[in-house]
Amino acid sequence: MDDSFFLFDCGEGTQYSLFKLQPKIVNKRLCLAVSHMHGDHVLGIPGLLLSLGLSSRTRELMVLGPRGIRGFVRDVLRYIGAMTPYAILFHEVRDGSEGEFCGVKVRVALGRHTATNYAYRLDGREKPGRFHPERAMALGVPRGPLWKRLQNGFPVTVDDKIVEPKEVVEPSTRGASIGYSGDTRPSRKLVDLFRNVDVLISEATYLDEDRGRALENLHSTASEAARLAAEAGARHLILTHFSSRYKDPLVLLEEARRIFPRVYLAREGRRFLLTPEDLLSRDEPFY
């Protein structure tokens, strides 16, 4: 979002994909948001921290996560005798936590999983529209405080003539909103957290035919993820975290699509671009 990068969870080997897809990440504003402490979500953290250090990162790194994330990261770095040349800031989240991290508004809700799991919602800031000084000049508005007033959305009067902000400033673009579930059963609380998000990234571990497993291991099925997206009024849904029992995760997509049409599969290296109008995939095929 803007110049901030958020990384949701960090499974083994994440650093390789991250550096390949975002080679400039090294000194960018970066926030790692961890949903829960299961291995497939945290075992890539040591490798990522070391790789960032070896790449000469100096900018501080923000880490959000459940209670224990701070101890885990500090202990693992101590045990392997590693020092990072950058500071690591921690914020241990709770159900209902809210705050601004890396310039983005973050809200957190407790999910329902076999470990304490937190789902995240990010809301980007509204971006003011571009100001056109040449138009202001042409309308006779002199450079100075009157420009500021127009930029702040107020009309100004010049020689008994009113100049409206829309004559010199383009409309603002609203900030994008993104939800991330971690591992969880669907719940009313998550519907509330993800209300009207542009993109919901949800786990979809199982098909409905294996719902018994989902209930036992506290995961979601693809159609449950789709129902969650529909109930929350999400614009788009990206499914991730598929059980390896399905050779081709397209079956999960098909099941979800019966309930929620704007659904896509996360795949290794696949990028999505969120524009004010819609969600675009930068990588074909887009289904």
Active site residues per annotation: 40
CB of 38 to Zn ion, least distance (A): 4
Nearer to Zn ion, 38 or 105 (CB): 38
Name the DSSP letter for residue 166: G
The β-bridge partners of 236 are 199
| DSSP three-state, residue 189 | helix
Beta strands of 17-129 (E only): which ranges? 29-33, 61-65, 88-92, 98-101, 104-110, 118-123
Nearer to Zn ion, 29 or 241 (CB): 241
Name the DSSP letter for residue 277: S
CB of 255 to Zn ion, least distance (A): 19
CB of 179 to Zn ion, least distance (A): 17
Please give, one letter per residue, the 3-state secondary structure of 207-253.
CHHHHHHHHHHCCCEHHHHHHHHHHHCCCEEEEECCCCCCCCCHHHH
Cβ(4)–Cβ(11) under 8 Å? no
What is the binding site for Zn ion (CB under 5 A)?
38, 40, 183
CB of 204 to Zn ion, least distance (A): 12
Dist CA 131 CA 170 (whole Å): 7
Nearer to Zn ion, 68 or 175 (CB): 68
Which of 74, 67, 79, 164 has its CA nearest to residue 110? 67
Q: Strands 156-158, 272-274: parallel, antiparallel or unpaired by DSSP?
A: unpaired
Nearer to Zn ion, 51 or 240 (CB): 240
Dist CA 22 CA 209 (whole Å): 38
Nearer to Zn ion, 112 or 189 (CB): 112
